[in-house]
Structure 1
Amino acid sequence: MIPKKPISSFLIYLCVLLFSACEKNDAAIGDDLRQRAIQELDTVMVKQERWVKVHAAEYKIELGYTEDVAETFMAELLQAQNQSQYRIGVWRVLAQCNSLEVDQYREKIAAAFRDKQGDDRVYAAESMAKLGLNLKRWAPEATEEVLNGPVNSLYVYTMWSSLQGEDPADEVSALLELVKNKKLDDLLVMQAAYALRNEGNLSITQWKNLASQALAREESSAAKVYLLSAAFIHAPESEKGRDTFAAVREQLLLYRDSAEKGAQMELAIALGRAGRPEDLAVLKKLLEGSNPVDPSGDPEAIALHHAAQADIRATAAYSILTMDRRREYSLALGDWLVVVLYLAGMLGVGYYFSRKNKNERDYYLGGGKMNPIAVGLSLFATLLSSLSYLSYPGEMVKYGPVILSGILVFPLVYYVVGWFLIPQFMKLRVTSAYQILEINLGVSIRLLATFFFLSLRFLWMGTIIFITVHTAILAIFGFDQKYALLISILLMGITIFYTTMGGLKAVVFTDVIQSGVLMGGAILTLLVVSYQLGSFTSWIPGEWLTQWGELKIGLDARERLTIANALLTTFVWYVASSGSDQMSIQRFLATENVQTARKTFGVSLITNFVVQCLLGLVGLAVLAYFLAFPQYLSPGETVSSHADQLFPKFILVGLPVGISGLVAAGILAAAMSSLSSGLNSTSSVISEDLIKRFTKNYKAPKNQMRGVRNLSFFVGIFALVLSVLISKVEGNLYDVIVRVVNLFVSPLFVLFFMALFVPFATARATLAGGLISVATAIAISFFKWMGIEVLFILPASLLAGILSGSILSYLDYRLLGNRETMEKRSREAAIFKDPGEVE
């Protein structure tokens, strides 16, 4: 079984009692064999020499067992830096394990390729290709010259490298052409097949072509095993039950008795990457060295024989560990039971509160007298969302704890929002926050704010659906990618049902429950990792990890993240969201007075502080867990390249049965909490700011609740459609959220800032400031304008909007004589009741 240690004897009893028949998947490879394979890689890397040492080190890096690799090869560098050919291997290893000096070693390899008189150009070209680097970018002139020259080994590897980052179909087609070229000698076909084995992405037609080439190749050809290996590894699922694949497999397995080192190594790699459980016996035999390559009698041949055997054993060990990683995990029956019960509970909540809503005010504002602590927890759950729950641990894993330094600015956020913004909002009891903008700056600004808010929330809801489904649900529940849209529809459907049934009361009630689930899931993760690693401090790094890059403190818009950047970005986000977002203002207005609204915001901030700390610690915990147990990562995954997937993966493989389901339900809870708030608030804005305002002779329908429920339904459908487009945005989860969701956060607050704090603000200047703010955000997000990093979108667009709006307002007021300012309109509003205000 997969190791599942309980947290306490009580947890054992509970799991046995409730889920005694539910187990996770059995491991195909036991701990003893796994440790034997790891030990073999360590031994070969330390005791062998030259390329055998390089191969073992690269196997360790790929599998995540990176201990001592950098230290070993930094020492090796001193001896090998002037050794032609072998130095390329040393540089290649260091380029993969030392993140702070990656480009230095890449450039050394590229320089060796550019040296036309050097005798390690072939090794350099191969290494660039294996590192995924395109020589057209690193050495354009030398690459062009080689590709226009004769077809030889240098040509094959240079072409392979020059296709990195290009269209995968073009890469496969070019390599297949070399394989099919009957004029090429056996060595070049072997090298092209080796490249194909490493790349893949074959269509069914291309695979059939490759398989036929492999099967037709004569037995004496050194290229045959490489062709068979490529065909075996990249066989489409639809072809694995057919005769052609069976023939490829049968001929490939004949090489288990081969006397050639390369053939045995290629067989091992093929079985590790695509073999069946029964093929483990072949790999064990190779690991034990019980099928040796026969040496001749002289000492030099014996030494070569020992090195060859070590290379085979290391490759067998690598393949065993690769097969270990190919295990599939799934939730147990007990986990599914927890999830189903939770979803049923959400539907029950919606039905219960649907019987208590009498009118629109009950639906949108919960009657205006809701408990401030409950509303505060709801505000926390709304602003946190599944986006933060999934992205914070991944951001911590990939870039380190700098992002968490932003919570240090929370006291200032509380003061600014609680004493400058909340009192302004509570002066007027309105249903839509954007009525405030109309009172102070007119209809045009209210409509612009409505557009900004709806754009923000639709993008936000679409992102929640996309990321929750593609990052969490597919990974945890094991659904096929083709069901993503159906799952998205189901997720939104359940949310629409209980939200449109129960209104804000249902939203707040479920948010309170979901807040507990979120925090409980994070705490359980910390407890489980602490137990499995031995202590509560064992998973806290003792030093700044190299994968996190350099720690920087000062404010710098061209750095992705520094401590000062995190403080400024966090401050701007909380102030702007709390001071302009209908979802936040709606909750302030749902309380009785300024003091209770302030208390609501304080509860939200405190809860956010606790949970963000927890999620940051969760990131460190799952990082330590997968560094200690890299066998749970799939082939090709590393803690850095798949940082966003580590937390969902841990939920599946690291937590006990039943707890996995609870935390999975927590992620669904976070998503539905935020989606429900989005549905409620966007429906409110559309109803108040668009339908009622622009419908001539508007009359409230006899059944008001049916009307608002129908509106929420159509809002949900539009957000669902929008979620399909989010997949086009590049970056890790945190970057995607910032680039998409935060586009309109600062521009929306610019309008409120002008309407509340700039006395001489005019409508047309404020409108221009808002549009300039949006343009700035888009320019930075998608075009990296002036080299500004995406995480600086919020402060940059806020500054651009406020400065331009204020300057233009001053010019409009002083030079153009426009007296219709915010100050004048607010004075008039104090005398005459605003016609747009709803009782």
Structure 2
Amino acid sequence: MIAAVFFTGVDWFVLLGYFVAIMALGLFFWRRNNTADQFTAGGRTLPGWLCGLSIFATYLSSISYLALPGKAFVDNWNAFAFSLALPFAAAIAVRFFLPLYRRSGEVSAYSLLEHRFGLWARLYASCFYLLFQIARIGVVMYLMALPMAVLFGWDIRIVIVVTGIIVTIYSFVGGIVAVIWADAIQAIVLLAGALLALGILLFDMPGGPSEVIEVANRHDKFSLGSTSLLAISQPTLWVVLAYGLFDNLRNFGVDQSYVQRYIAASTDREAAKSVWVGALLYVPVSALFLFIGSSLFAYYESHPEQTQEVRLIVAEQKMMQAGITPDAPEYASRLNETMDGLTETDLGDRVFPHFIASNLPMGARGLLIAAVFAAAMSTVSTSLNSSATLVMSDFYKRLLRPDSSDTEHVRVLRGSTIAWGAMGTMMALALVRLTESALDIWWILSAVLGAAIIGLFLLGIMVPKIRGGAAVFVLLIGMTLIAWMAASKTDYWPSQYSGLASPFHPLLVIVVGPTAIVLLGWLVTKFLSKKPNEVTGD
């Protein structure tokens, strides 16, 4: 494998040293996690800047670190519209959502839904959130495994399993305080690695930074996409902007992992600071990663021999996944066929790992790979901690054993961490045969699994009169709409019903779904206004 020869003993020292330091941090907090509150909320004493860096690091997962450059390499800066929506979503979250969580004092974000609508709403939101986290862990771990597969030619499935075990152990021993502190450290490693890579990219071009700008601009790599207001079936600037507003509102407003950071902050003011630190840092940093992608495109346009190397590496991985080994008689011919059939999309998520392996000085390669792992570990550990928190609070304590002891809660938290780590690893293995952009896959999964949750929260806030059966009816209609919008855009939709397919791009699921839920809820309360008992459930 071509890229494997570039990883030296110094790189291994940096990479393994980073792992040892992070695991030591988790073990340092092991003895402090002797209560459920410490494991899930960190004693509620943390400063806002620390929680904010943790939020930022969660945003800056390997989805951003690899998929954003890959997206800009293949397409353009259309994904930046998602980031532009962040400050607006943060403002809404600080104004309306954050005070609710801080006043409740409960660690589960969805206990508010029980107070508003009943137990069914809490369990519904928790179930979908737990499914959402399995999908997120899977995508992040798949992207975390890509650099190692590219670097060493290892079977990506083995890399996924090994890294899944490592991250799960880290989350198991650390608890939320270790996760937050590690996130803050990893945010610094992420930025240092990205800036180093960009500097080498820009100055390794024959014409320097100006050539990068000229080549990328000539191929329209800095475009934000179509600005048509009518092209609702395409990922235009406005479609991605609308998606970004609602998806970021789901993140800051109703995502359990973010809510735990609000609760872990020492005061309301510090909690609000954490939101703004996370949001305002991510906007310019996401632009940085998109610029890395545009620069990678210009670099590989000027270095066709390295493009051929990437094509060979990707083709070898596909052959390995298909079970065709180098000693097979047809290997050479099948390899050439596979290389000829590769598209830019196949290369997109792999060009940054290849550049790291082939062009960075020794030691720096280890730092960059550590940064990719840092990005993934911050997200996966956060997802595992928040998922375990919900299993303990919304299912075990709320339904199975209301009078259970704190010792039992800690046991459930750690057992749930292992369970969700295993399921997330299996999801990552299912993504190995991915042929589309990882960012596209993640955005669609996020929209479908998050749409009804944010819709239910907005219904409770914006339609104060709705209760009980009316809310269930509205949610069912909304879920049906969401399912139709998602399913009719897949290959499983019957061709004879193509005329009944959704005209909207799949990203708009999280926009249309919640909007329809709120509007329908308002109409139902108006229709039943003469029968208040039916509306309120009294």
- As a proportion of its length, which structure holds more helix? 2
Give, in whole Å, the separation in 1 of the partners of 2:214 and 2:526: 53
Please say if 1:452 is aligned against 2:168: no
2:151 alignment partner AA = I
1:530 aligns with: 202
Verify the 8 A CA contact 2:4 2:152 in the aligned structure 1.
Answer: no
2:285 aligns with: 611
1:715 aligns with: 420
Give, in whole Å, the separation in 2 of the partners of 1:710 and 1:514: 26
Q: Kindly tell me: are residues 703 and 778 of structure 1, through their superposed partners in 2, closer, same or farther at Cα, counting changes over 3 Å?
A: closer
1:756 aligns with: 461
2:151 aligns with: 476
* TM-fit CA distance, 1:408: 3.2
Verify the 8 A CA contact 1:405 1:566 in the aligned structure 2.
Answer: yes
Q: Where does structure 2 lack aligned partners over 5 or more consecutive residues?
A: 312-338, 490-500
**Equivalent residue runs for 1:661-672 within 5 Å:** 661-672=366-377
Q: Kindly tell me: are residues 697 and 585 of structure 1, through their superposed partners in 2, closer, same or farther at Cα, counting changes over 3 Å?
A: closer
* TM-fit CA distance, 1:668: 1.0
* TM-fit CA distance, 1:728: 6.3
Please say if 1:692 is aligned against 2:367: no
Please say if 1:495 is aligned against 2:171: no
Please say if 1:802 is aligned against 2:518: yes
1:362 aligns with: 38
Please say if 1:338 is aligned against 2:14: yes
1:163 aligns with: none
Verify the 8 A CA contact 2:15 2:370 in the aligned structure 1.
Answer: yes
Q: Kindly tell me: are residues 556 and 368 of structure 1, through their superposed partners in 2, closer, same or farther at Cα, counting changes over 3 Å?
A: farther
Q: Kindly tell me: are residues 559 and 398 of structure 1, through their superposed partners in 2, closer, same or farther at Cα, counting changes over 3 Å?
A: farther
Give, in whole Å, the separation in 1 of the partners of 2:143 and 2:111: 33
Please say if 1:747 is aligned against 2:421: no
Give, in whole Å, the separation in 2 of the partners of 1:353 and 1:687: 20
1:333 alignment partner AA = G
Structure 1 stretch displaced more, 421-430 or 784-793: 784-793
Give, in whole Å, the separation in 1 of the partners of 2:257 and 2:407: 27
Query: Aligned to 1:579, what secondary structure does the other structure show?
Result: helix
Total equivalences in the alignment: 494
Please say if 1:425 is aligned against 2:141: no
**Equivalent residue runs for 1:619-768 within 5 Å:** 619-633=293-307, 634=309, 635=311, 636=339, 639=344, 641-696=346-401, 698-700=403-405, 702=407, 704-727=409-432, 731-768=436-473
**Equivalent residue runs for 1:508-657 within 5 Å:** 508-533=180-205, 534-541=207-214, 543=217, 545=219, 551-556=225-230, 558-633=232-307, 634=309, 635=311, 636=339, 639=344, 641-657=346-362
1:555 alignment partner AA = L
Give, in whole Å, the separation in 1 of the partners of 2:528 and 2:256: 29
Verify the 8 A CA contact 2:15 2:369 in the aligned structure 1.
Answer: yes
Q: Kindly tell me: are residues 544 and 519 of structure 1, through their superposed partners in 2, closer, same or farther at Cα, counting changes over 3 Å?
A: same
2:508 alignment partner AA = F
Residue among 379, 384, 387 paired with 2:63: 387
* TM-fit CA distance, 1:539: 1.2
1:441 aligns with: 117
**TM-score normalized by the length of structure 1:** 0.56
1:102 aligns with: none
Q: Kindly tell me: are residues 391 and 764 of structure 1, through their superposed partners in 2, closer, same or farther at Cα, counting changes over 3 Å?
A: farther
- Higher-Rg structure is 1
* TM-fit CA distance, 1:616: 1.1
Q: Kindly tell me: are residues 597 and 336 of structure 1, through their superposed partners in 2, closer, same or farther at Cα, counting changes over 3 Å?
A: same
Deviations 1:304-331, CA, capped at 9 Å, x for gaps:
xxxxxxxxxxxxxxxxxxxxxx787542
Residue among 815, 820, 825 paired with 2:536: 820
Structure 1 stretch displaced more, 757-766 or 345-354: 757-766
Give, in whole Å, the separation in 2 of the partners of 1:701 and 1:593: 25
Deviations 1:635-685, CA, capped at 9 Å, x for gaps:
445656522221121111121111111111111111111110011101111
Give, in whole Å, the separation in 2 of the partners of 1:763 and 1:730: 44
* TM-fit CA distance, 1:461: 1.2
**CA RMSD, aligned part only?**
2.5
Verify the 8 A CA contact 1:589 1:597 in the aligned structure 2.
Answer: yes
Q: Where does structure 1 lack aligned partners over 5 or more consecutive residues?
A: 1-24, 26-325, 825-839
Deviations 1:377-411, CA, capped at 9 Å, x for gaps:
10111133111221111111222112213433343
Deviations 1:584-636, CA, capped at 9 Å, x for gaps:
11111111333211110000012211210111111111111111112112344
Q: Kindly tell me: are residues 616 and 350 of structure 1, through their superposed partners in 2, closer, same or farther at Cα, counting changes over 3 Å?
A: same
Structure 1 stretch displaced more, 546-555 or 577-586: 546-555
Give, in whole Å, the separation in 2 of the partners of 1:607 and 1:539: 25
Q: Kindly tell me: are residues 556 and 682 of structure 1, through their superposed partners in 2, closer, same or farther at Cα, counting changes over 3 Å?
A: farther
Deviations 1:764-806, CA, capped at 9 Å, x for gaps:
3333444444444443344223232223232122223333343
* TM-fit CA distance, 1:696: 4.6
Identity, % of aligned pairs? 24
Give, in whole Å, the separation in 1 of the partners of 2:448 and 2:435: 15
Verify the 8 A CA contact 1:623 1:639 in the aligned structure 2.
Answer: no
